Structure 1
Amino acid sequence: MELSINRRLHTRLSAYAVCLDGDKILLARWTNPHGSRWMLPGGGVDFGEDPLDGAIREVMEETGYRVEVETLLGIDSIVRPDFHGVRVVYEGRVVGGELRFEVGGSTDMAAWFDLAEVSELERAELVDTALALLRARPITGRI
């Protein structure tokens, strides 16, 4: 890939949690200028913040729930022309809090969905990747 001298490259570290309650999964609706899609709760890790702590903070911000991280499921990497996203995916368990919507953030609501209906949702591809990681639990942390 040839890069222009003036192109600025950007790497973003983010952390997410797959939270299940029986056959239901917790998702947050991510909004941007191009529309809305359902996504795992989570997002950007602050400078100096541990990804595990970032996932816990982000789930609380986006859903109102306190979670406990149980397992590292894997790390997903996406590359676009001037962007590299490194996404750490954990399995989490809700241990407290109450469902509420984020105000003034990158998501506008959160909800529980039956796993059987996830394939019908307008969703980010990370949801499918995370569910594949959850099913396969690859030793390398990569599908």
Structure 2
Amino acid sequence: MTATDPALTALSQGWCALSLLHGRIEAHIERALQAGHGLSVREYSLLDVLSRQHDGEGGHLQMKQVADAVVLSQSATTRLVTRLEDRGLLQRYLCPTDRRGIYTNVSEAGLALLEEARPTNQAALREALDTAAEDPELAPLVRAVEELRVPA
């Protein structure tokens, strides 16, 4: 396979289109969340992931699991948690069964901000997808995103 191989070129073009779609969507949501709620996309994602924890078996996430869920390194996730904790949006506590483990919960203020920001996030996502769907290069990817069903 050479650099000019049509299959490699198509793969590269597909990857570039996917990257472009992601960048446009994230930038649009970022502007909306910052303007309306003072949150970044990463902050919103972290609050959203942590708000889905529960008291059942495996219901609380360790920092590595949180980092994987928000697609950040563990150190970047820890810094993000610290920033949101300093703002009163998160609370850390020791795991009751393993004193080495530290968990994080969303505070009442964090839950209120998340619920306030959720419609903004959804509207910005819809707007970004609708705009991207007008681009013939991105339209097939938009359709794929809209048809995607993640198992619960």
Range class of TM-score, shorter chain: under 0.3
- Whose strand fraction is larger, Structure 1's or Structure 2's? 1
TM-score (norm. length: structure 1)? 0.25
Q: Which has the larger radius of gyration?
A: 2
TM-score (norm. length: structure 2)? 0.24
Query: Could you say which structure has the greater relative contact order, defined with CA pairs below 8 angstroms and 6 or more residues apart?
Result: 1
- Whose helix fraction is larger, Structure 1's or Structure 2's? 2
